[in-house]
Structure 1
Amino acid sequence: MTGSERPLTEAIALAVSRGWRQRVLAYITRAPHELLVFEHPPLYPDAGIQVPAGGVDPGETPAEAVIRETFEETGLRLHSPVHLASFHWTRGENSQVWHYLWLAAPPTTPDDWTHQVTGGETDQGMTFHCRFVPQSTHGLIPGFGYEAALPHLQRLIPAH
């Protein structure tokens, strides 16, 4: 997968003009050094470790989409997302625009929990295991772009 970073408004305009899918990825922290990740049920061992993510629905902004996706995939009702970066990704003939946003979880959020997904095309009804991990050892599935905006997050909220 190859990607190029774009400003938010330019990335949205590019996706709309080309009819490309837009996705959001949520970097959720509870403390500066932590990152919320989740794992799929054992039925999908190759899915790896991911962050909450999903498509931007028609008429929805990336900020609205990341709030909805976060709730659907983790059960957390978070607000005030901060845009970190947007990338135009190409894999073969497929192009998409991914928007990375940061959300802060309350300090009282548990270390880990399970959540049954309440929306989405293929994930609805699955149970995800959510947990906070150190940003430095996130374990995100490599090669899929999930970690692409972590340097932006680390500049915004240094881990140390």
Structure 2
Amino acid sequence: MITFYDRQTEARADAAARHLREKVVCFVVQGQKLLVFDHLPDGGAGVQVPAGGVEAGESPAAAASRELREESGLHLSGPQYLCSYRWEAQLPHRFTRQVCHAYAFAAPYDLSDTWQHHADGHLFSFRWADLADPGLDWEMDAALPYLQQATLRLLNP
């Protein structure tokens, strides 16, 4: 189940009141393409975008920049806040409840079409997917309508 918040401050207050983990989800956009990755060697965790936890004392925007850098090796600035939502799901072996903050980053056009990056004992295999249908797994597609609206605003000011 996904519940969207009206404001990030409301989402953060709810996370604190419910003692829920805060997470950031990072959408890197290049025109009509979205940066996605698969875990190697088997890709068993599905198609994902860079994401991770907000650390104590860290703002979600700072966490988004850090997680993007750690998981992809990209040093992009200016994360654009998209939305916040609470995700609750029964996963194999556990029930997950967390508050997610989605951010968009503009990618430079000189990035490779594919690359691999080692982080936290994982090998991430990056590639570009169609922004209209990137095939994301988990709840990572929840913020796509917000991302697509933001992208349209950037392309058609």
TM-score, normalised to structure 2, is 0.89
Q: Partner residue of 2:72?
A: 74
Unpaired runs of at least 5, structure 2: none
1:43-67 Cα deviation digits (max 9, x unpaired): 4x32011000000000011100010
Give yes or no for contact 1:75–1:115 (8 Å, CA) kept in 2.
yes
1:65 alignment counterpart:
63
1:87 aligns with 2:85: yes
Q: TM-score, normalised by structure 1?
A: 0.87
**Residue from 104, 118, 121 that aligns with 2:106:** 104
Please give the residue correspondences for 1:133-152 in structure 2 after superposition, counting only pairs within 5 Å.
Answer: 133-141=129-137, 144-152=138-146
Residue of structure 2 equivalent to 1:155: 149
8 Å contact kept, 1:30–1:109: no
- What are the superposed Cα offsets for residues 85-121 of structure 1, whole Å, 9 maximum, x if unpaired? 100122255421011110111111111111111xxxx
**2:71 and 2:106 mapped to 1: Cα distance?**
16
For residue 63 of structure 1, what is the amino acid of its counterpart?
A
What is the aligned length?
149
Following TM superposition, by how much is the alpha carbon of 1:127 offset from its aligned partner in structure 2, in angstroms? 1.4
Report the alpha carbon displacement of residue 125 of structure 1 after superposing the two structures with TM: 2.5
Please say which of residues 70-79 and 104-113 is displaced more in the overlay: 104-113
1:120 — aligned with what?
none
Once residues 114 and 42 of structure 1 are traced to their aligned partners in structure 2, the CA distance between those partners, rounded to angstroms, is 11
Query: In the alignment, residue 100 of structure 2 is paired with which amino acid?
Result: W
Task: For residue 136 of structure 1, give the secondary structure of its aligned residue in structure 2.
Answer: coil
Report what 2:128 is aligned to: 132
- Structure 1 stretches of 4+ moved >4 Å: none
Q: Which runs of 5+ in 1 are unaligned?
A: 118-123
2:124 partner SS: strand
